[in-house]
Amino acid sequence: MPVSDLSSVAQDYLKIIWSATEWSDQPVTVKQLSERMGVRAATVSDGIRRLSEQGLVAHERYGGVELTDAGRRHAVAMVRRHRLIETFLVEELDYGWDEVHDEAEVLEHAVSDGLIERLDRRLGFPARDPHGDPIPTADGTPRRPDAVPLLSAPAGVPLSVVRISDADPAVLRQLAEVGVGLDTVLTVEGGGGDATVRVGDAVVVLGAGAAAALWVAAQTR
């Protein structure tokens, strides 16, 4: 069954389940999905039950929700759609990186697989979206970078920003204002709930939300 044959609700559930575990090894729970989606836990439970009946997820009562192989294939296809659309909107239509998430949420359900492949070619087969999230390949292979949260990174060594969570557009705007974006090289000078970093000659204090949004990797020369 192609992903386009699933309902938009099923597509959203699969994408959110996969995205919730992309940067974590822990299965996502119904409660966590409820919080992410902004709906009641009972509603999520019903949705998960239907996906389980279709063989797309595995879920034991009070346990974590995990994708089956079929569910994972569909989820990765939706993630690929979403991130390629975001990239196209930024690179070709001059959208800001804080504007594209909601647009992509709508468009990802309407486009065909053929259009997605054309977008991929037009964009030069990008490996990441405007926020640094990896774009799975056409055959569904994820390509997560070797990165850690800024709040877990060592102090005093040059680090490169490789991913910025797009969960809060206000955080993206705040980071842009202080000169922090993808591939920005910074050094952690202090931690805690906030983070003090050096960017070039400037010392920047990042609030808790901004600091938690950043993932970094060792700077390579």
CA 106 from centroid of its chain's CA atoms: 16
93 versus 145: which is more confidently predicted?
93
Give the structural domain span for 179: 148-218
Same domain, 131 and 35: yes
Segment 7-25 shows an average pLDDT of 89
pLDDT in tens, 32-63: 899 888 899 999 999 999 999 999 999 987 78
DSSP characters over 193-207? SSEEEEETTEEEEEP
Of the listed ranges 3-12, 53-62, 171-180, the one predicted with least confidence: 3-12
Amino acid at 137: T
pLDDT score at 133:
94
**Integer Cα distance of 155 and 118 in angstroms:** 43
**Integer Cα distance of 15 and 75 in angstroms:** 5
pLDDT score at 198:
94
Helices (H), the chain: 8-22, 30-37, 41-53, 69-93, 100-107, 113-122, 169-177, 208-213
Same domain, 88 and 192: no
Dihedral of CA 176/151/26/145: which sign?
Answer: positive
3-state secondary structure of 59: strand
Q: Is the pLDDT of residue 90 over 70?
A: yes
- The residue out of 144, 159, 183 marking a domain boundary is 144
Same domain, 29 and 104: yes
- The residue out of 120, 144, 168 marking a domain boundary is 144
Q: How confident is the model at residue 128 (pLDDT cuts 50, 70, 90)?
A: very high
pLDDT score at 26:
83
Assigned token pair, 192: 């805690």
As to burial, measured by CB atoms within 10 angstroms (0-12 exposed, 13-18 middle, 19+ buried), residue 50 is: middle
pLDDT score at 2:
63
**Integer Cα distance of 83 and 108 in angstroms:** 9
pLDDT score at 192:
67
Same domain, 129 and 208: no
Same domain, 134 and 156: no
Same domain, 1 and 41: yes
Assigned token pair, 92: 């070709």
Same domain, 176 and 97: no
Strand partners, 218: 159
- Mean residue pLDDT across the chain: 91
- The residue out of 125, 144, 163 marking a domain boundary is 144
Q: Where residue 164 sits, what CATH number does that domain have?
A: 2.30.30.90
Same domain, 128 and 100: yes
Q: Where residue 33 sits, what CATH number does that domain have?
A: 1.10.10.10
Same domain, 108 and 156: no
Same domain, 41 and 132: yes
Segment 102-129 shows an average pLDDT of 95
3-state secondary structure of 146: coil
3-state secondary structure of 8: helix
**Integer Cα distance of 89 and 92 in angstroms:** 6
pTM, two decimals, is 0.87
pLDDT score at 211:
93
Report the domain count for the chain: 2
Same domain, 134 and 162: no
Assigned token pair, 131: 């926020």
Segment 123-133 shows an average pLDDT of 95
Assigned token pair, 197: 């970093």
Amino acid at 122: R
Same domain, 104 and 194: no
pLDDT score at 85:
98
